[in-house]
Structure 1
């Protein structure tokens, strides 16, 4: 199911930007929207500033470009963002998803189809240390962010059941990559090492963290966007492994021998304790296959972070 024109929300963010880049590289028509278009405007002339909640402009853009598919990456991007303003978190994430679901319903009424891919999060599972977490595991959020994602999933489930909206939910692991702007322990350890600072974390030794490189997530999103038929509506997207923070620190030390990283025992108090996500459904029904192992992804991140430091030293 190759869409004619795809709308990407949150298009200047970590995921949205790379989705737009891939679609443009494949010579596909893509319309990018975000509250600030920034760098994504260098990828496409069809990039527009759009505040979540501006439904009139949203529908006008969709009609102008004959949108028939949507990738919804917009909204608050993690539990570390907007922690002190839960009301705004719910307004943006839940209200924004409702607006997108209604847009998809109206597009489908007019044109007969509209695929909608929604970027949810592994945090919806809450604390569940057992491995092989499948999509039918109970959801147990303990923060506003995963609660807002569950609400978005429920909205799409209702729109799919009652109105035939062709929605696919992707529960995505912790995404890392060069363009990530929000808090990231990998970036912190690398940046500290490059700047000659020690890193001490009061947690992390033996604590698993399910990172997935941004390119693998984008591949999963495009597979979900294009798949013809599938029995499931919800898929886990991860690297299929759950390395510990100390294992990641060891990789960074191998790549940057001067790195001085120390960790205490125990879990990150601001993160969920979650066993390895099963990606069997995504592999079977979408053809998803993660291709960037942690060491390779960290090496890419080191290179991306090193370049600005190298430029500064050369001035």
Structure 2
């Protein structure tokens, strides 16, 4: 899917894993892109190949403070998304989701432009409905160690819909399920990056609990397709809409696939399950298919193979022969 508008687009969290891929895709479609990031978890290396682009600019800024800019649409992705990062400073995590949403919504209201909120499948908590449709209200612990992220994102959704009802603001809300691919941080504690890095370095793969808990994994290119498709919908469509791959795998299955693709025989070891860790997670994507014409296309093995190449190059472990494909020429 290609973005074909000459609009000036603001992406908060634009130097992050997902944000950098979104910036790259928007540039490829002809947009001017303003990347806003405070580099708490975002990295300049993620946008290094974009820095000299004539339609790309960066602003170092924390969204918990007001931002003044002139843009035509806003993607709000700013917030640490991995447990290691969002639990390090949980108060700031909540402020980023809530105060950051207020500031970005205020900017969108002043400019009268559409704004998309990158929400999360974590709003469903540890679900007792499976798979999770958008109409399910979730089962979230409001006082647990994951609450700063889960409840912060839930409150941000509330704010978005109240701005819609009270001010007529053009909003879009997506709920992102587990996403993976090149530019993930090697130390973010997420299961895909953990398993790949451990296998590449010849370390035992760590499974939490018995490994029977399930997740669904969406390759980042597919997610970006869905984000752009959501922003392109008519004003009447607000979401929330699930964006994720409905293929469901146990953690043990994922570990075994990673070992096979890396060509490693490292052991699999077990550790206690963290508090409030969901037992299962799988998106119902019927709404995305009907309203966006969107279905993820990249199978897990193919996406993992691409991600393994990226981490192998990053870590210098020498198990693969090539690095991440250079897509810069395509957006010049």
Q: TM-score, normalised by structure 1?
A: 0.88
Report deviation, 1:223. 0.7
**Structure 1 alignment gaps of length 5 or more:** 109-113
Q: Which residue of 1 aligns with 2:153?
A: 149
Q: SS at the partner of 1:132?
A: coil
Deviations 1:239-295 (A, max 9, x none): 012211111112112212323242549965452223421011011101211011111
Alpha-carbon distance in 1 for matches of 2:179, 2:229: 17
Name the structure where helix makes up a greater proportion of residues.
1
Deviations 1:84-135 (A, max 9, x none): 5332222122100110011111111xxxxx1111101101111114323111
Report deviation, 1:232. 4.7
Report deviation, 1:5. 1.3
Alpha-carbon distance in 2 for matches of 1:53, 1:297: 34
Q: Which residue of 2 aligns with 1:281?
A: 287
Contact map agreement 2:5 2:30 (CA 8 A) in 1: no
Report deviation, 1:54. 3.1
* Alpha-carbon spacing, 1:81–1:270, altered in 2? closer, same or farther (3 Å): farther
> Which of 51, 56, 61 is 1:50 aligned to?
61
Alpha-carbon distance in 1 for matches of 2:199, 2:319: 16
Q: SS at the partner of 2:85?
A: coil
* Alpha-carbon spacing, 1:200–1:10, altered in 2? closer, same or farther (3 Å): closer
Contact map agreement 2:262 2:319 (CA 8 A) in 1: no
Contact map agreement 2:118 2:175 (CA 8 A) in 1: yes
Instruction: Give runs of aligned pairs for residues 158-177 of structure 1, distance below 5 A.
Output: 158-177=162-181
Matched, 1:226 2:229: no
Q: Which residue of 2 aligns with 1:127?
A: 126
Q: Which residue of 2 aligns with 1:178?
A: 182
Q: Which residue of 1 aligns with 2:138?
A: 139
* Alpha-carbon spacing, 1:261–1:270, altered in 2? closer, same or farther (3 Å): farther
Alpha-carbon distance in 1 for matches of 2:281, 2:161: 25
**Structure 2 alignment gaps of length 5 or more:** 142-146, 322-332
Matched, 1:210 2:216: yes
> Which of 97, 103, 106 is 2:107 aligned to?
103
Alpha-carbon distance in 2 for matches of 1:198, 1:303: 19
Aligned residues: 302
> Which of 238, 242, 246 is 2:248 aligned to?
242
Q: Which residue of 1 aligns with 2:200?
A: 194
* Alpha-carbon spacing, 1:35–1:20, altered in 2? closer, same or farther (3 Å): same
> Which of 26, 30, 33 is 2:33 aligned to?
30
Q: Which residue of 1 aligns with 2:18?
A: 15
Alpha-carbon distance in 2 for matches of 1:292, 1:87: 36
Q: SS at the partner of 1:6?
A: strand
Q: Which residue of 1 aligns with 2:8?
A: 5
